[in-house]
Structure formats: C-alpha cells, structure tokens
Chains A and B, each alone.
Chain A
Amino acid sequence: MAVFTDTDELHRVMNDLWTAIKNEKEMAAQLLSSRLIVTFHYREPDGRLTVDCSDGKEMVITVGDCNKKPVVEMFMKSSVAHEFWLGKVNVPLALIQGKIVSKGPVNKALALLPAIKPAYGLYPSVIEKNGLKVSIT
C-alpha cells in the first residue's frame, strides 16, 4: 500500500514537516548556514518541494513548481522519503542501491544529514496531524 494517497497529501505532509523544521531554531540555523537551495523530487506519487536557504536568514519552502535554480537535487520514491524521515533508511546503502539519486555537489547535501536528524522526532506528529494511516514504528 502506498504511503501517500496522492500528490496533494504528499505535498501537505512534506510542507508541514519542513515548516516544523523551520520553526526549530537550532536546526534551521544550521541549514541556513549552508546557503543551499535543495529540491526534492518525489515519485509514486509525484511531488516536488524546494527548500531555499540561500539568503542565510529565512528558510523559504516551496511546494510544487519552483523557478529557483537548485544547487542540489534529490530524487527518490515518496515511500523512501517517508522511511527516511522515520529514521529507517541507511543512506549510504540507499545511495549504493540507487534508491536515492543526487544531482549536484552531493557532499554539501550529505553534510546536512547530522543537522536534520532531530527532525526524525518531528515526523510522527506530522503524520498523525495529517491523518495518514501508516505504521510509524
């Protein structure tokens, strides 16, 4: 069974999650210091989300089409994204398996992994808030 029923639901969940991350001062500060623009491309269902930290002051989250040129693009199935935010994805293995595709200077994006780890704790409540009927354990 798919984790997200459609693109709208996927966008809603990811937008809520990134908004929660934006509101966590310490996490947001570390992401902003990277000054990266990262676009996540999802499939099954399709979706897209761009996180813009380029001005170093405010994290701008755009769901769907975005005219900003990303520095790094990440491509994955929506279910992989879901597992990732539950802290269940071995990222090195997923990269070796080709489950995650990264375009651009991948080291810059990977360097942010430790910074976003606390977001794993935020995700279950985002799932709950959006009424997704999936296992979060």
Chain B
Amino acid sequence: MNPFVFHTPTRVYFGEDSASSCGDFLRELGGKKVLMVADAFLEKSGALKPLIESIRESTGSAPILFTDVPSDSDIDCVNNATAIARTHQCDAFVAVGGGSVIDTAKVINICLSFGGEVMDYQGLNIIERKLYPLIAVPTTAGTGAEVSFVAMVKDHGEGKKLMFGSRFLAPDVAILDPLMIVSLPAKLTAATGIDAITHDIECYVASGTYSVFTDAICLESLRLLFEFLPQATVDGGNIEARGATLVASCMAGVAFTNSGVGITHALAHAVGAKYATHHGMTNAVFLPHGMRFNLDTVYPRYARIAQFLGFADEENNGDELALANLLVNKVEALLEKLQLPLTLRELGVPEFSDENLAELTDLAAADPAIMFNPREASSDDLTQLLKRAY
C-alpha cells in the first residue's frame, strides 16, 4: 500500500429540515455574532428564514446578511464582506449557497481570523491554526466545498483565480438538507452532479495520492450518483434522490480534498477562466476525453469502478480493458441522458484561434489539478484534448 494521508475535520449532518438546526451547532461552536454569506435568490425566496430564526434563537441576535456574491466570486466581494464582518465584530460564519458562496465565506474567515489582506494568504498550507467557526449549508450537490480544504476566488484585475489551501479551511459543520436544493433547476442539478462524478473518477485514479479510504468513498458516491442523479434531475421534488445526490457530492468532496483531481479539472478550469463557462458543464464536456487520455495508464482502476457499479456482464467480466472502456461509454450515456452539452461549441465557446488555443494549453498546464493526473500530459496532449472537445 502506498503512503497516504486522510483527514476529514468537518462534521456532516444530513436530514430533511436539518438546516433549521444551524443555531444548535453555533451554540456548541461558540459563535456570538454571525455573518451569513448566502446566494441572493435564497433571501428573496424565503429559504433563509428557518436558518436565521435558528441563529437568532441560539445567539440572541439575527445574523448579518451578506448576499452580494457573484457566481464567480472575487477579491472585491471578499474585501467588502470582510469590512462588514469587522464592523459588526463577527466571530462566526454560516455559508448558504453553492461553491462560490462557501469559498467566499472561507476566504472572509481567513481575513477576519488573522487580519491583513487576502493576498497574504494565497498558497498552500500557509494557514496553520484554527479559524472562526464556519457552518456550510450547500444548495447545490456538486462542488464539495462544504467539506473541502480549498477555496478559490477570482482576481478580476489580473484575470486569474487565487487559490487558498489548508486543512483549517474546511468548515466545522456541513449541514446537508435536501429541502435546500429542491428548487435547483434541472440543468444545474445535472451539471453540478457531473462535477461530483468527475471528482470521484479523477480522485479514484489520482497520481499516488488515493487511499483505501478515498477508494471506498468514491465508489459508494458514484453508485449513489449513477442511480439518483437522473431522478433528481427529472424530478427536482424527489427528496430521496435529492438527498442521495447531496450526500454523494459531499462524499466526493471528502475524497478529492484528500487526493486531488486531474486533467479534466485542469482543462475545465482553463476554459472556465477564459470563457466563464459553468464549471460542472465544462467538466461534463471534458470528462470522457480525460478518461480516454488516462485509460491506458489506469484501466484496471476504471475496471474496478465498472465492476462495482454493476456494469460487468458475462461478455466483459474479467477483461479490465473492456470494462474500463465500458465505464467511459456509461459516463457518455449518462451525459446524454442528462442532456448536458457534449462539446465546447455547445457550451458557447467561440472557435479557437491559435493564440487562444496556446493560452488555454498554458493555463491547463499550470493548473494545480494536472499534478494529480496519473498520466503526464504534454502541451501537445492538452492542445489535442482541447481540439477534440470542441
């Protein structure tokens, strides 16, 4: 067995209406004045009311609400929210939303806990001690931000993403409440679900960093997603399916934050950074290409996934290469079933000029995710994959 490290500091609480227990956790964690970072539409829809009430009951005062978070959060947003949190002397955070909202709350928490500027903390493993309490309530089932050790926000001035990574960034509590995601539109349900599937598949074959812990988590997460993601997409009100995808996404988050992702994410980050495409949908486009690129290197691992998911039959049982190929075909079939874009063109990406292609190749080559890919990718490999995905 290879050396590995596995760590998951976040307490996960799952259940229907569990979000309204938010205040109980705050009481335990010790927060007195809460900054609630949330998606604006949740405030308008009234979805935040039970959480706000619960926080008011446990702390004696309503949380300060910050909802001005763009879909691709940035430094300005973090600085604005940090200033508000300082003014109100906040000492705890509740993040309610998708990955961007939760990541924003993590970075605000760094600035408030340690002082100074956002840029002081960019990097990996710089933060070496505990931050203020943070509770995350995800309203999408895909990013895994509610349990991950990383946060990314954009520096629009420089046109780049800033990465913050430390095990102390992981939220203290993740509340998985299926009622919080029932209104997620079908397309976003599908796209965020594919993000989670990509986390699982890339983590399962990550270069020398996966472990028996992440293996077990990825496999069960994939089983849940293959079974329930189509149902959650077609019937958003199906609480069982919503709950299963929410849990599976969280599991994928636990796994990938311990083992990393790979080439699909590196390419998706590059295209997303340049053309502001949706992360889950961009992953959906690249996933089959990334898997085929890695197939020769990791086909026994893909075969194990296919076997676990019950794809093996008399014809291919025991033939690892056939099973690995079957897995890629099953992923493609799922993407079609979910009616997700299958090419970058369908995603609205304009035709590549040579210059753009070179820029995207460089971005993908410099993305930290590429380090974890099991097969080394040259610039030429990345360029070919970008062309193929178009």
- Chain A, Cβ-Cβ closest to B377: A114
Q: A100 vs B165: C-alpha distance in the bound complex, in angstroms?
A: 12
List residues of chain B with CB within 8 A of the CB of A113: 371
Q: Is the CB of A111 within 8 A of B122?
A: no
Question: B318 within 8 Å of A by Cβ?
Answer: no
Q: Is the CB of B371 within 8 A of A110?
A: yes
Hey, which bits of chain B sit against chain A, CB under 8 A? Answer: 3-5, 122-126, 160, 162-163, 165, 167, 206-209, 258-260, 365-368, 371-372, 376
Q: A51 vs B125: C-alpha distance in the bound complex, in angstroms?
A: 22
Complex partner residue of B124 from A106, A108, A111, A114, CB under 8 angstroms: A106
Q: Is the CB of B207 within 8 A of A92?
A: yes
A92 CB, min distance to chain B CBs, angstroms: 5
- Chain A, Cβ-Cβ closest to B266: A107
Q: Is the CB of A93 within 8 A of B208?
A: yes
Proximity bits, A31-73, B CB within 8 Å = 1, else 0: 0000000000000000000000000000000000000000011
List residues of chain B with CB within 8 A of the CB of A110: 366, 368, 371
Q: Is the CB of B208 within 8 A of A103?
A: no
Supplied contacts A95-B165, A106-B368, 5 more A-B pairs, CB within 8 Å:
A90-B208, A95-B124, A98-B167, A104-B123, A113-B371
Complex partner residue of A107 from B207, B368, B372, B376, CB under 8 angstroms: B368
Given the contacts A92-B260, A96-B260, A106 and B209 also touching, CB distance less than 8 Å? no
Q: A86 vs B165: C-alpha distance in the bound complex, in angstroms?
A: 26
List residues of chain A with CB within 8 A of the CB of B125: 95, 98, 100-102
Q: Is the CB of B366 within 8 A of A92?
A: no
Q: A45 vs B4: C-alpha distance in the bound complex, in angstroms?
A: 26
List residues of chain A with CB within 8 A of the CB of B162: 105
Q: A95 vs B372: C-alpha distance in the bound complex, in angstroms?
A: 11
Given the contacts A108-B366, A110-B366, A93 and B4 also touching, CB distance less than 8 Å? yes
List residues of chain A with CB within 8 A of the CB of B258: 96
- The interface centre, meaning the residue of A91, A92, A113 with most chain B CB atoms within 10 A of its CB, is A92
List residues of chain A with CB within 8 A of the CB of B3: 93
List residues of chain B with CB within 8 A of the CB of A101: 123-126
Q: Is the CB of B366 within 8 A of A107?
A: yes
Q: A92 vs B165: C-alpha distance in the bound complex, in angstroms?
A: 13
Q: A94 vs B64: C-alpha distance in the bound complex, in angstroms?
A: 39
Q: A73 vs B120: C-alpha distance in the bound complex, in angstroms?
A: 12
A16 CB, min distance to chain B CBs, angstroms: 27
Q: A91 vs B160: C-alpha distance in the bound complex, in angstroms?
A: 23
List residues of chain B with CB within 8 A of the CB of A135: none
**A-B contacts, 13 listed (Cβ < 8 Å):** A90-B207, A91-B371, A92-B206, A92-B372, A93-B209, A98-B125, A101-B123, A103-B126, A105-B122, A106-B123, A107-B163, A107-B367, A110-B366
Given the contacts A92-B371, A98-B125, A106 and B163 also touching, CB distance less than 8 Å? yes
B9 CB, min distance to chain A CBs, angstroms: 13
Q: Is the CB of A96 within 8 A of B5?
A: yes
Q: A102 vs B163: C-alpha distance in the bound complex, in angstroms?
A: 11
List residues of chain B with CB within 8 A of the CB of A137: none
Give me the 6 closest cross-chain CB pairs, A-B, nearest first.
A111-B366, A103-B123, A101-B125, A102-B124, A107-B366, A98-B125
Q: A76 vs B260: C-alpha distance in the bound complex, in angstroms?
A: 21
User: Which residues 104-134 of A sit at the B interface, judged by CB distance below 8 A?
Assistant: 104-108, 110-111, 113-114
List residues of chain B with CB within 8 A of the CB of A114: 376
Given the contacts A100-B125, A113-B371, A105 and B365 also touching, CB distance less than 8 Å? no
- Chain A, Cβ-Cβ closest to B149: A96
A53 CB, min distance to chain B CBs, angstroms: 15
List residues of chain A with CB within 8 A of the CB of B167: 98
Q: A100 vs B259: C-alpha distance in the bound complex, in angstroms?
A: 16
B362 CB, min distance to chain A CBs, angstroms: 8
- Chain A, Cβ-Cβ closest to B366: A111
Q: Is the CB of A103 within 8 A of B260?
A: no
Q: Is the CB of A92 within 8 A of B209?
A: yes
Q: A98 vs B258: C-alpha distance in the bound complex, in angstroms?
A: 12
Q: A114 vs B365: C-alpha distance in the bound complex, in angstroms?
A: 10
Q: Is the CB of A92 within 8 A of B208?
A: yes
List residues of chain B with CB within 8 A of the CB of A104: 122-123
List residues of chain B with CB within 8 A of the CB of A102: 123-126
List residues of chain B with CB within 8 A of the CB of A72: 123
List residues of chain A with CB within 8 A of the CB of B123: 72-73, 101-106
Q: A110 vs B5: C-alpha distance in the bound complex, in angstroms?
A: 21
List residues of chain A with CB within 8 A of the CB of B368: 106-107, 110
List residues of chain B with CB within 8 A of the CB of A92: 206-209, 260, 371-372
Q: A102 vs B167: C-alpha distance in the bound complex, in angstroms?
A: 14
List residues of chain A with CB within 8 A of the CB of B372: 92
- Chain A, Cβ-Cβ closest to B3: A93
- Chain A, Cβ-Cβ closest to B167: A98
B356 CB, min distance to chain A CBs, angstroms: 18
List residues of chain A with CB within 8 A of the CB of B165: 95, 106
Q: Is the CB of B209 within 8 A of A96?
A: yes
